[in-house]
Amino acid sequence: MPVPLDAEDVRLIRQSLTVVESRTAEMAVYFYAILFLRHPQVRELFPPNMDVQRDRLLRALLRIVDLVDRPEHLVHFCSRLGRDHRKFGTRHEHYGAVGECLLEALARFAGPAWTPELAGAWQRAYAAASRTMMLAADDDARLRPAVWTATVIAHRRLGPQLAAVTVAPQDPYPYAAGQYVSVETARRPRMWRHYSPAHAPRPDSTLTFHVRAVAGGQVSNALVHETRVGDVIRLGPPEGEMVLDPESSLDVLCVAGGTGLAPIKALIEQMARTRSERCVDLFIGARTARDLYGLDDMLRLSQRYHWLSVRAAVSHQRIVGAEGSLPEIIAQYGPWDRHEVFLSGPPPMVTTAARVLTERGVVPSRIHHDPLDVPVLSSSPDPC
């Protein structure tokens, strides 16, 4: 889709953002206040606590402005955003309401810098972005549902703050091993969070998520401590590129911290299923030996499959042979420069491990991991 903005529009929009930049938090409060006041019907789409989303909308706008003179990247980003918005229940008529309030908020906070030319440039930019979002949402609607309703059929505690939650979707849920899913529980309506199925796709389409309750966390605590068999949850479409390339025959290095083991376990199961002969080195890490969940399962698998070797790393406890952070431990082994690498776990671990591996000659394109931040915002700008 062509982006109807000329160089002057781009200049004006960028300049206006430097004016409002220092007041984006106030601007977001104002924007949502007038949006919900004038268009109360959209309030029910949003979660009760709006603090997180405030930041995301503005970050998306900044990204759009950043990409505004690179139409292909902009289309890729907005299309993904549009598909992502289907699960929120966003409809075409909502875009007008959001656009009107957004422009009014920008006008108010830009003050005297707001001119008819600037208003025109923002109108064109918003129209292009929202049209791309709507078109992508419509295309997606022809291919698949916006959400899959599922019922919790098992809930098993794996540790004091960790649970395996198994759900049965009403309709088949196609995904590839290693992907992640947006999840909403009826116990925290409209709060969508991402979780990775901890296994390769099953014939009965059931999914098991390994969820760790984080301090003060809304959805993770509901899933670990409150969820019961029979609860209803909704799933967004599968996402993520941390999947196996069927053409690749390279050996594999997997590094998993905490519940990051879930997608890695899925990838290993998938390799077992396809009788892959690729050698897999798996490093599992945690703060203490007690937190090393899933190690026994993986050791059992390594006894069955000669191509799988499993090692543990513990960062906050003295254990002979396993003491250290995951990046420290993997640096002691190798070489890894002819391996395909899958990293999954807390963002600092993933970032450090990726740095350590690139320093040791691994080509960045062979290092795979999930987004470290809000997936739709941290997706690669490259058009696919």
Ligand X SMILES: Cc1cc2nc3c(=O)[nH]c(=O)nc-3n(C[C@H](O)[C@H](O)[C@H](O)COP(=O)(O)OP(=O)(O)OC[C@H]3O[C@@H](n4cnc5c(N)ncnc54)[C@H](O)[C@@H]3O)c2cc1C
Residues that bind ligand HEM (CB under 6 A): 42, 45-47, 52-53, 56-57, 60-61, 81, 84-85, 88, 90, 94-95, 98, 129-130, 133, 192, 374, 376-377
State the nearest-atom distance from the C-beta of 218 to ligand HEM, in Å.
Answer: 11
Give the nearest residue (CB) to ligand X: 217
For position 212 contacting ligand X by CB under 6 A, the verdict is yes
Contacts 24+ apart (CB under 8 A), 330-337: 330/253, 330/255, 330/283, 330/356, 330/357, 331/356, 331/360, 333/281, 334/360, 335/360, 335/361, 336/253, 336/360, 336/361, 336/362, 337/361, 337/362, 337/363
Which of 242, 271, 231 minimizes the C-alpha distance to 344?
Answer: 242
CA 208/CA 153 separation, integer angstroms? 10
SS3 content of the chain, % helix, strand, coil (to 5): 50, 20, 30
Select from 86, 210, 234, 311 the one that contacts ligand X (CB under 6 A). 210
Q: d(Cα 113, Cα 190) in Å, to the nearest integer?
A: 37
Chain position whose Cβ is nearest to ligand HEM:
53
Minimum distance from CB of 359 to ligand HEM (Å)? 33
Identify the CA nearest to 163 among candidates 97, 76, 240, 227. Answer: 227
Smallest distance, ligand HEM to C-beta of residue 1, A: 14
CB 16 within 8 A of CB 106: yes
106 binds ligand X (CB under 6 A): no
Q: CB under 5 to 8 A by kind: which of ligand X, ligand HEM, none does 47 bind? A: ligand HEM
Tokens 């992640």 identify what position? 180
The closest alpha carbon to 143, from 252, 237, 32, belongs to 237
Q: Which stretch binds ligand X (CB under 6 A): 72-80, 117-125, 215-223, 328-336?
A: 215-223
Closest contact distance (angstroms) between CB of 219 and ligand X is 3
CA distances from 253 to 148, 250, 264, 310, 333 (A): 33, 10, 10, 10, 11
Task: Write each residue from 254 to 283 as x if it is in contact with ligand X (CB under 6 A), else as -, in one continuous string.
Answer: -----x--x---------------------
Question: Which of ligand X, ligand HEM, none sits in contact with 220, Cβ below 5 to 8 A by type?
Answer: ligand X
- Binding flags for ligand X, 181-200, as an x/- string (CB under 6 A): ------------xxxx----
The nearest distance, CB 217 to ligand X, in angstroms, is 2
Which lies closer to ligand HEM via its Cβ, residue 76 or residue 94?
94
First vs last Cα of the chain: how many Å apart?
A: 15
If the CB atoms of residues 94 and 234 are measured against ligand X, the closer one turns out to be 234
Residue with tokens 């050698």: 279
Which residues are at the interface with ligand X (CB under 6 A)? Answer: 180, 193-196, 209-212, 214, 216-221, 259, 262, 370-371, 375
